[in-house]
Amino acid sequence: MLLKRTLIGLIRSHELTGDRAKDPVLKSHFYKLSKEKAWEEVVSTLKKMQGYKVLHEVQSVGEIVLEKRTAFGRTMDITVSVINVNPVLSAVDIYSASRGSFGDLGSNYRVIIDLYRTLDKKLTAYKVK
């Protein structure tokens, strides 16, 4: 799968998650938490992550904007959305894009995997399969 993502990354410089994603890794992640509690947990976790810089957070909308610099000096803009599904269920979606005109060689895909892995580890007790 990583070879496929690297080849796709030759021309594409963004990646996003959602309910309808064909790749199971890119499906939205759901947690048994209210939006407010999920927001608190996600923001505190993202602020502690090495290599990521929180630029902006808007709780009313449920969006956190991050920045990450790659080893090659490129900048990636990442938006993490916390969405209220119902009063006791929240979803987290991620959009990641690299600045510049060339592809990202799959780095946005790997960033999404890294963010979800960290969030799932922190919120294991609340993860919906």
Check residue 29 and give its pLDDT: 97
pTM of the model: 0.90
Q: What is the DSSP string of the chain?
A: -HHHHHHHTTT--EEE-BTT-SSGGGBPEEESS-HHHHHHHHHHHHHHSTTEEEEEEETTTTEEEEEEE-TTS-EEEEEEEEEEEETTEEEEEEEEEESSSS--TTHHHHHHHHHHHHHHHHTGGGEE-
- The domain defined by 2-128 carries CATH number 3.30.310.220: yes
pLDDT, tens digit, 9 for 90 and up, residues 37-85: 999 999 999 999 999 999 999 999 999 999 999 887 889 999 999 999 9
Q: Any idea where the domains of the chain sit in the sequence? A: 2-128
Residue 7 scores a pLDDT above 70 = no
pLDDT, tens digit, 9 for 90 and up, residues 11-37: 678 899 999 999 899 999 999 999 999
pLDDT, tens digit, 9 for 90 and up, residues 81-123: 999 999 999 999 999 999 987 777 888 999 999 999 999 999 9
Positive or negative torsion for Cα 27, 77, 118, 84: negative
